[in-house]
Structure 1
Amino acid sequence: MRTAYQYRLRPTKQQAVKLDRWLEMLCAQYNYLLADRFNWWEQNRSPVNACPLVCHLPELRDNPDYYSQKKTLPQLKKTHPWYSDIYSQVLQDVVKRVKVTFDRFLKGDSSGKRSGKPRFKARNRYRTFTYPQMKEGCLQGNLINLPMFGKVKVILHRPIPEGFKIKTASVTKKADGYYLTLSLEDKTVPEIKPNFNPDKITGIDVGLKEFLITSEGETVAIPQHYRKAQKRLRVIQKRVSRRKKGSNRRQKAVKQLGKQHKKVADKRKDFHFKTANWLLSKYDVVAHEDLNTKGLARTRLAKSVLDAGWSSFLSILANKAENAGLLVVPVSAHNTSQDCSNCGEKVPKKLHIRWHDCPNCGCSLDRDHNAAINIKNRAVGQSVLKAQRLLSNSRIGCEAHTILASS
């Protein structure tokens, strides 16, 4: 199992200058390698038996792939000696990043979805570099030893658990400073609970009136972090727009705006983690709707949907449940608000109608509460199917058998 811990870095002034210099050089190399791939693709993407409208003879060379571009790095250090200051694996990770970006553009990801055309990075848009491998014992007290960079002070606000091994380290520049992200490996597989208490299965319905409501009727108020910060953001944004482009005063205002946006994002993330912990401390199985958040973010409710951050919350909830040996079950969102949770009959209602009144059985309750109960009912059957899939894993097969028996 892999998990990530993020810590605040406290570099000295000289180290901060060196970090910025590394990021600028890596950004230039990223843009060069991406341009190399684009040049070959533009000249050679037509088939042999076809000719584009603008016909020219391309340069006869092989397609620049991951391995051929990695072979150019030793020559890069000869022609540009200042690149010798950067750790070799950090430079190789730039090549890998270009490969992943370009392949996602041409072929798509694992689900077949293609991304847009990759863009060249500006200096202030390239913020992270990664060490793909870290030696054992690289973290000594409150110092992290980064190869070919040196020891940097780290604010260890929480210790690394025993048995966890540091695999990779990433340094990221954010609006308020530098951060270190450690990717940790734990070889112990979290055990799925052998049986689930029927009283500890719940369904949640996320919304914009309340952040979520459980099938038991418990609600969590929506905080609206962005909307509450809009007044302050408007003042700072106006300050940025009134200052001359390229001036030092404008750069200071942009930095201040970035800090304010980060503050809003941190508040939202903290709220998501606390809400996920509260749910998993009370319930063994949490069911939710399988929402198309990207589609909802294109509607007129986009600002409210993105401010709530449903996608981020559900991702955090699933990861926390996996670490705790619990289950998070996504179910179909079709007609969860329209179907009656008591009799199952469909009761059509428009979005502005917030109360569910069933003419068939007389069930009367809040629309979102009704949807949460429907989500829980759908998840009861799906949890059995999920347990069947767990049977294929020999390490937790016995636990899955017990789940099936209890269901």
Structure 2
Amino acid sequence: MVPVVHLRYSFRVYPTGPQRQSLARTFGCVRTVYNDAVAARRAAYEAGAKYPSAVALAKSLITDAKRTPDRAWLGAVSAVPLQQVLRHCDRAYRNFFGSLSGKRQGARVGPPRFKRRSGTQTAEYTRRGFRLKANGRLYIAKVGDLKVAWSRELPAEPSSVTIVKTPTGKYYASFVVAACDGADLAEPLTDPDAETGIDLGLKSFAVLRGGQTIDSPKFFRQMERKLKKAQRALSRKQKGSKNRAKARLKVAKICEKTRNRRDDWLNQQVAAIIGENQAVYVEDLNVRGLSRGRSAKSVHDAALGMFLNRLESKANRAGRTFVKVDRFFPSTQLCSACGALTGPKGLGGLRVREWACECGAEHDRDANAELNIRREGKRLVAAGHADT
């Protein structure tokens, strides 16, 4: 059975003045219902009572609440995003409890927290709450027809759409589309050498086959001085003042610009690697562990985990071979000529960029690691131990 993946396609939308007011009202109602659900479950925990179910919360926090004077304004917006946010809250609690019991794989997650008015605002609509119109507009229940800047066609009918308002005041429509692995199948490459290992790092972002190097762009480092200056200015503004709102917007724009530049660059690198290689072999890095060390800021700036996730997703959709080599494989220490473990070790070895093996072979640290990763990846594929 072909696995199904869900992809997101985001497009900029331009609501009118009245539509922005309707969306602001919707965002506020969504935030209120979510916070009420968190408060209800916290109260149940403190009282030692059973957690209320999602159905009970939907009845008490939406249906019954609309009939009360304090929450009558919930009826002014569509019920679809209110029901969806309760599902999100319920999923967050299930993830939290699964993490505590060990049933949920991955890093441990904390309990849901209250949503704030500041920051990114979202409202999710299922098929009952939106419709794509023939004129290219996006109809949202109780909001109206939104103007969408379509940059490409959706590959399939979307199952849901999330309206997003960023901290800089921009609006986006994020569609969820179901697709199968191999849906964007690319033409197979006949060149037997069209494969590469990837050795990721901080000095150079990545080293590919043949010593090809991708330099680290360091987007955050480029904007760090400007960001610090904007944050200092924000800290001096009086809370609740208009000048503080302007200063907050300036900080948000700097962060948004950094994130957009990084996203665009990562997408370009992923597309180039998948387009030029039939097989890609990477090291399964412990990015979370690396982000806690002395180079945490540089690790976050490089976004190594994001790069690996996008590379794997793109490879699966394009029908390329993608293999992760075990993180404990000594790719740096292993001599690619004789197989001896004579390479640089430990924290002190991080400064060693070139080294000579006892067999007489001289190595570039990163090029040697790439070759070892590629060989190990090919071995895993041949042995049938790799998920390709």
On the 8 A contact 1:286/1:329 being kept in 2, the answer is yes
User: What CA deviation, in whole Å up to 9, does each residue of 1:48-73 have, x standing for no partner?
Assistant: xxxxxxxxxxxxx6530222212322
Identify the residue that residue 28 of structure 1 maps to in structure 2.
32
Identify the residue that residue 68 of structure 1 maps to in structure 2.
56
On the 8 A contact 1:134/1:167 being kept in 2, the answer is no
- Structure 1 residues without counterparts, runs of 5 or longer: 45-60, 391-407
- Structure 2 residues without counterparts, runs of 5 or longer: none
Alpha-carbon separation, structure 2, partners of 1:135 and 1:97:
17
| Secondary structure of 1:166 counterpart | coil
Displacement, 1:388? 7.9
Identify the residue that residue 380 of structure 1 maps to in structure 2.
378
Which one of the candidate residues 205, 214, 217 is aligned to 1:220?
214
Number of residue pairs aligned between Structure 1 and Structure 2: 371
C-alpha distance 112-337 of structure 1, shift in aligned 2 (>3 A)? closer
Identify the residue that residue 337 of structure 2 maps to in structure 1.
342
Q: 1:364 aligned to 2:368?
A: no
Identify the residue that residue 78 of structure 1 maps to in structure 2.
67
C-alpha distance 139-384 of structure 1, shift in aligned 2 (>3 A)? farther
Identify the residue that residue 125 of structure 2 maps to in structure 1.
131
Which one of the candidate residues 176, 179, 199 is aligned to 1:183?
176
Displacement, 1:389? 6.3
Letter aligned with residue 105 of structure 1: F
**How do residues 146-225 of structure 1 correspond to structure 2 at under 5 angstroms?**
146-161=140-155, 164-176=156-168, 177-186=170-179, 190=183, 198-225=192-219
Percent identity for Structure 1 against Structure 2: 29
| Secondary structure of 2:316 counterpart | helix
Letter aligned with residue 74 of structure 1: T
Letter aligned with residue 355 of structure 2: H
Displacement, 1:110? 3.3
TM-score normalised by length of structure 1: 0.85
Alpha-carbon separation, structure 2, partners of 1:136 and 1:122:
26
Alpha-carbon separation, structure 1, partners of 2:35 and 2:206:
43
Q: Which runs of 4+ in 1 moved over 6 A?
A: 192-196, 387-390
Alpha-carbon separation, structure 1, partners of 2:137 and 2:383:
47
On the 8 A contact 1:202/1:376 being kept in 2, the answer is yes
Q: 1:298 aligned to 2:283?
A: no
Alpha-carbon separation, structure 2, partners of 1:241 and 1:374:
50
| Secondary structure of 2:232 counterpart | helix
On the 8 A contact 1:203/1:287 being kept in 2, the answer is yes
* Range that drifts further, 378-387 or 241-250: 378-387
Displacement, 1:121? 1.6
RMSD: 2.3
C-alpha distance 188-107 of structure 1, shift in aligned 2 (>3 A)? closer
On the 8 A contact 1:203/1:375 being kept in 2, the answer is yes
On the 8 A contact 2:274/2:315 being kept in 1, the answer is yes
User: What CA deviation, in whole Å up to 9, does each residue of 1:4-47 have, x standing for no partner?
Assistant: 11000101112112212211121111111101111112222xxx
Alpha-carbon separation, structure 2, partners of 1:159 and 1:322:
21
Which one of the candidate residues 290, 293, 315 is aligned to 2:309?
315
| Secondary structure of 2:351 counterpart | coil
